[in-house]
Amino acid sequence: MSETTYEYEPDTLDEHGEVVRRGRLIRSVTVHDPLWTEEDLGWAMAERANANSLCPTGCGHYLDETTDPALEGEWEVPTPTVCFACRELEKAKAPYQADDVDPGHLFHVRRRQR
């Protein structure tokens, strides 16, 4: 949302007080609403703080927990789950990993139409 205000020169009047010439536009100012509200900014900053508090190597847990000596030995890695879509995607990428293949191939996976 935005709001524009206009400023004009005074109108030119004749001897009877009638407008002979309208005043020219000398300034217009448009004020736009901010793209981010204070609440938006707060949420964005909270998300960044949250992301910065996670383990950077990818376990997905909070560093204050994963580096706490009192929690050593409390972590376990369950049996992995197979993502069949990722499996097919990695198989398709394999022939393009050689040094003699030009980079830039874009891959995606989709479900077969039946």
- pLDDT, tens only, 8-49: 999 999 999 999 999 999 999 999 988 999 999 999 999 999
Report yes or no: 6 and 25 within 8 Å, Cβ to Cβ: yes
Strands 12-13 and 19-21: antiparallel
CA distances from 106 to 88, 91, 92, 113 (A): 14, 14, 11, 21
Structural domains counted in the chain: 1
Question: Residue 92 CB: number of other CB atoms within 10 A?
Answer: 13
CA 30 remoteness from chain centre: 26
- pTM here is 0.48
pLDDT of residue 85: 97
Domain that holds residue 24: 1-33
Would you say residue 70 lies in a domain? no
d(CA 7, CA 23): 9
Q: pLDDT tens for residues 73-105?
A: 999 999 999 999 999 999 999 999 888 888 898
Report yes or no: 13 and 22 within 8 Å, Cβ to Cβ: no
